[in-house]
Amino acid sequence: MFKLPFIYLFLGILAKSSAGQFYFPNEAAQVPNYGRCITPNRERALCIHLEDCKYLYGILTTTPLRDTDRLYLSRSQCGYTNGKVLICCPDRYRDTSPVTQAPPRPNVTTTNLLPLPGQCGNILSNRIYGGVKTKIDEFPWMALIEYTKAEGKKGHHCGGSLISTRYVVTASHCVNGKSLPSDWRLTGVRLGEWDTATNPDCEVDVRGMKDCAPPHLDVPVERTIPHPDYIPSSKNQVNDIALLRLGQQIEYTDFVRPICLPLDTNLRAATFDGITMDVAGWGKTEQLSASNLKLKAAVEGFRMEQCQQVYSSQEILLEETQMCAGGKEGVDSCRGDSGGPLIGLDTNKVNTYYFLAGVVSFGPTPCGLAGWPGVYTLVGKYVDWIQNTIEA
């Protein structure tokens, strides 16, 4: 087991000025705390010594420490005092009872055909990378949406996210949007793609070793399901979400794997203000094809009140089923696909996992303008619709 000072250094936690200490008599009894805080997944919590947050402390002292766990822990830091790291710890993580096994699975019904954390949202290679270009096995749920055009020509002009063996989530404007040419038909989905210029894809690591993926998988779409309340001509593009039912069941691999949906009650209600997330894709939209390589960019959740003010100048009224992220010059969902994922990070008592926080909907033209965040469909508001719509 690592010594604690080494662990703190490993997390990249820097010493900060001491926080003022508070005590809330009905919360975290006999545990000193340093005020209220908000976790990376927008739960209200208490800022306490890391050692007093039993579950997160247990993760930290696990060998080897997974990169996804390290990222969550570093984002949960809320201070540093008297040589000790403070962590933003929800009530459920202060439970001292050991976790011996995953929670029991409910009986299979049409509402739980979706994979759960442990089956979805994981990065099997145990790697987190910075920069714009993804690694060959990052975000294995990413999908390219195929359109068949005049004379049988095919092209990919939207993105999506695999959520189960039979379904992909994308934007409704990629299915029945007003900008889609009348002679285009959405006919398929490509999975397991990284570089659209090669097949199979290979990447050379720092040691000169070649890492290759299997050939990408082209799957026909059996049925397109735009949200019934989506209005293609609307300025605010509310309900811009759709499901694609695949023509066959998909077998999961290291390069084709689903992302989790925000099934947790806290995640369904979260607005992600100030939370850093990833948007990813090939930069393909209805009008633009920008990259052969799968790209990513880190964007921060934008307060809805501020976003409303920005878009009101264009007479666009956003609703509570939407969210905004980005707004920094040159960093936007232009690096992703229209219909592609906004990716959040969560942890429970069993797994740290990625979930689908948003779907790329629309933004300013040109994109990446300072002060103009992109607009996303807030997936947590549509979990019930998804669960009630999907079939075995």
Each residue's pLDDT expressed in tens, for the chain with a length of 392 residues: 333 333 443 344 433 333 444 443 344 446 788 888 878 776 778 889 888 888 888 888 776 777 667 777 877 888 777 777 888 888 777 754 443 333 333 333 444 589 988 889 976 544 444 447 888 889 999 999 999 998 889 989 899 999 999 999 999 999 999 989 989 999 999 999 999 999 999 988 777 788 899 999 999 999 999 999 999 999 999 999 999 999 999 999 989 999 999 999 999 999 999 999 999 888 765 555 667 888 888 889 989 999 999 999 999 999 999 999 987 765 555 555 789 999 999 988 778 899 999 999 998 766 667 778 899 999 999 999 999 999 98
The catalytically annotated residue of 161, 164, 338, 361 is: 338
Q: Which of 307, 303, 305, 358 is nearest to 333 (CA)?
A: 358
* 235 close to 315: Cβ distance less than 8 angstroms: yes
pLDDT value at position 42? Answer: 67
Q: How many CB atoms lie within 10 A of CB 256?
A: 22
If you search the block for the tokens 């009224």, which residue do you land on?
317
pLDDT value at position 306? Answer: 93
pLDDT value at position 357? Answer: 97
The catalytically annotated residue of 173, 278, 291, 337 is: 173
* 260 close to 350: Cβ distance less than 8 angstroms: no
Q: How many CB atoms lie within 10 A of CB 184?
A: 14
Helix axes 67-76, 4-11, angle to 10 degrees: 90
pLDDT value at position 329? Answer: 67
Opening angle at CA 28, ends 26 and 31, nearest 5? 125
pLDDT value at position 166? Answer: 96
CA distance 276 to 113: 29
Give per-residue burial for 344-356: e unless 16+ CB within 10 Å, then b: bbbbbeebbbbbb
240 is catalytic: yes
Q: Where are the domains of the chain?
A: 4-93, 142-389
The catalytically annotated residue of 240, 273, 337, 346 is: 240
pLDDT value at position 333? Answer: 54
Measure Cα distances from 100 to 56, 64, 75, 97 in Å.
15, 18, 26, 9
pTM (2 decimals)?
Answer: 0.73
338 is catalytic: yes
CA distance 277 to 248: 31
DSSP 27: S
User: Identity (one letter) of the amino acid at 121?
Assistant: G
CA distance 322 to 22: 36
Residue 381 backbone class (left: φ over 0; alpha: ψ -120 to 50; beta: rest): alpha
Question: For 142-389, CATH number?
Answer: 2.40.10.10
216 is catalytic: no
pLDDT value at position 60? Answer: 81
pLDDT value at position 10? Answer: 37
Q: Which CATH architecture has domain 4-93?
A: 2-Layer Sandwich (3.30)
Query: Which pairs from 313-321 meet CB under 8 Å and 24+ separation?
Result: 314/235, 315/235, 316/235, 316/236, 317/235, 317/236, 318/236, 318/375, 319/236, 319/238, 320/378, 320/381, 321/238, 321/239, 321/377, 321/378, 321/381, 321/382
Regarding beta strands 341-347 and 352-362, do their DSSP bridges make them parallel or antiparallel, or are they unpaired? Answer: antiparallel
Q: Can the peptide bond before residue 200 be classed as cis, meaning omega within 30 degrees of 0?
A: yes
* 379 close to 198: Cβ distance less than 8 angstroms: no
